[in-house]
Amino acid sequence: MRNRFLPIALFQVGLFFSPLCLADDPFALDEPYVFGQGMRFGNYYVSGYTNIQMEDAFGQPAKLSLDDLSIFVGGRIGRWINPFTEIELTRQTLLKQGGNPGHGNIVVERLYDDALLTEHDTLRLGKTLTPLGDWNTVFASPLVPTITRPDTTAEGFETNVSGVDWMRDIQEGASDFQLYWQPDYEWFERLPRETPRHFQHVVGGHFNRPSGLIDKIGASFQHGVLAETGEQYTVFGVNAIQSFGNLMLESEAIASRFTGTVLPWAPPRLHSNESGIFGLADYSFTSKWHGILEAEYYQDHLVGPSSRNTLVGIDYKPHAYMVWKFEYVHQLGTPTSFSPILTGLNCSFSTLF
The candidate with the shortest Cα–Cα distance to 164, out of 133, 202, 132, is 202
No. of helices (H) and no. of strands (E), the chain: 1, 17
Measured distance CA(277)–CA(294) in Å, rounded: 11
Q: Mind listing the pLDDT tens digit for each residue in 116-163?
A: 999 899 999 999 999 999 999 998 999 999 999 999 999 999 999 999
Measured distance CA(235)–CA(34) in Å, rounded: 41
| Cα angle value 62/53/336 (rounded, 5°) | 50
Looking at residue 3, what is its pLDDT?
A: 43
Measured distance CA(129)–CA(111) in Å, rounded: 10
Q: Mind listing the pLDDT tens digit for each residue in 333-348?
A: 999 888 899 999 999 9
| Cα angle value 280/145/278 (rounded, 5°) | 25
Provide φ and ψ at 56, rounded to 5°. Answer: -130, 70
Query: Where in the chain are the domains?
Result: 6-352
Kind and range of the H or E element at 50?
A: strand 44-57
Average pLDDT for the chain: 89
Q: Mind listing the pLDDT tens digit for each residue in 3-43?
A: 444 433 343 444 343 333 333 333 334 556 788 889 988 89
The rounded radius of gyration (Å) of the Cα atoms in the chain is 21
* Chain center to CA of 301: 22
pLDDT band for position 300 (cuts 50, 70, 90) = very high
| Domain 6-352: which CATH number of 2.40.160.10, 1.10.645.10, 3.40.50.150, 3.50.50.60 | 2.40.160.10
What average pLDDT does this structure show over 325-331? 98
Measured distance CA(343)–CA(350) in Å, rounded: 22
CA dihedral 131, 135, 136, 142 (to 10 degrees): 130
Q: Mind listing the pLDDT tens digit for each residue in 190-223?
A: 877 778 899 999 999 999 999 888 899 999 999 9
Provide φ and ψ at 115, rounded to 5°. Answer: -105, 125
Q: Look at 139 and 311; give whichever has higher pLDDT.
A: 311
Residue 77 CA: distances (Å) to CA of 18, 19, 84, 198: 11, 8, 11, 33
Looking at residue 192, what is its pLDDT?
A: 75
